[in-house]
Amino acid sequence: MKRDPDSILNAELSHAVASVGHTDHLLVVDAGFPIPADAWRIDLALTRGIPEVSTVLEAIHEELIPERVVYAEDVPEMNPDFDSFLRELYDGSGAALDTVAHEEVLEYGKRAKAIVRTGEFLPWGNVVIQCGTDPKPWFDGEHVTMPEAYRERYEEMYGQSP
- Which residues are identified as catalytic? 22
Please enumerate in sequence order all residues whose Cβ is within 8 A of that of 23, keeping only pairs 6 or more positions apart, or say none: 67, 130, 131
Please enumerate in sequence order all residues whose Cβ is within 8 A of that of 19, keeping only pairs 6 or more positions apart, or say none: 113, 114
Strand spans (E) along the chain: 25-29, 41-43, 66-72, 96-100, 114-117, 127-131
Cis upstream peptide for 135 (omega within 30°): no
As a whole number of Å, the CA-based R_g of the chain is: 16
Calpha distance 63→73 (Å, rounded): 26
